């Protein structure tokens, strides 16, 4: 009897974990597709760090939480901003100097791990977000993979197949137990 309770509890636990994982990954993938390729959690965009320019504080392969900004002209020296550079490339670097011109604010930026400041100053209107201070190491590799076609298969279809298989196994086990009870009742009736 105790073994049956443990198995029942374990069954519920595995089912719950699989369901939460499947729903969580599905929501992340849907959020990524709806926002144009940028996963968003609680109002923060998750960006994958592709270079070591901000190491050791922000490691390559990490994800960082970036808060979107609409007005990029109110930052101060030392803030870490994410900005759009040529060819729609996003960069996250620290502000080292601020210059106000008649056309607006220009930021001089530099990666913490770089020897020199970036070549081109950043226009305030090119700033898309500010680094929130939240970094999760190595998860960026996983998110980049999840956004690929192979990643969609691994993170959506594969867990779905596992859930279906596990549900089939659970149903088969329940039917087997019912058959065993019926056989026991028949044997007792004889």
* Residue 46 CA: distances (Å) to CA of 12, 36, 148, 163: 32, 12, 16, 28
Query: What sign does the CA torsion over 139, 142, 146, 149 have?
Result: positive
Half-sphere exposure of 188 (CA within 13 A, CB side): 6
Long-range Cβ contacts of 162-166 (<8 Å, 24+ apart)? 162/18, 163/18, 163/19, 163/22, 166/14, 166/15, 166/18
DSSP assigned state of 121: P
Parallel/antiparallel/unpaired status of strands 104-110 and 63-68:
unpaired
Q: Which of 51, 53, 144, 148 is catalytic?
A: 51
148 catalytic residue (yes or no): no
Catalytically active residues are 51
């Amino acid at each position: 009897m105790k073994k049956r309770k443990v198995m029942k509890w374990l069954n519920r636990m595995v089912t719950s974990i699989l369901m939460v994982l499947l729903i969580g990954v599905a929501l992340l993938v849907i959020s990524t597709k709806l926002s144009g390729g940028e996963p968003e959690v609680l109002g923060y965009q998750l960006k994958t760090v592709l270079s070591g320019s901000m190491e050791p504080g922000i490691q390559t392969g990490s994800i960082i939480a970036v808060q979107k900004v609409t007005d990029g002209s109110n930052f101060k020296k030392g803030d870490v901003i994410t900005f759009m550079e040529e060819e729609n490339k996003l960069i996250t670097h620290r502000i080292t100097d601020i210059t106000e011109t008649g056309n607006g604010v220009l930021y001089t930026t530099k990666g913490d791990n770089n020897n020199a400041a970036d070549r081109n100053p950043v226009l305030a209107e090119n700033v898309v977000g500010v680094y929130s201070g939240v970094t999760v190491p190595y998860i960026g590799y996983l998110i980049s993979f999840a956004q690929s076609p192979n990643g969609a298969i691994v993170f959506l279809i594969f867990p779905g197949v596992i859930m279906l298989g596990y549900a089939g196994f659970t149903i088969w086990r329940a039917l087997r137990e019912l058959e065993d009870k019926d056989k026991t009742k028949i044997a007792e009736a004889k």
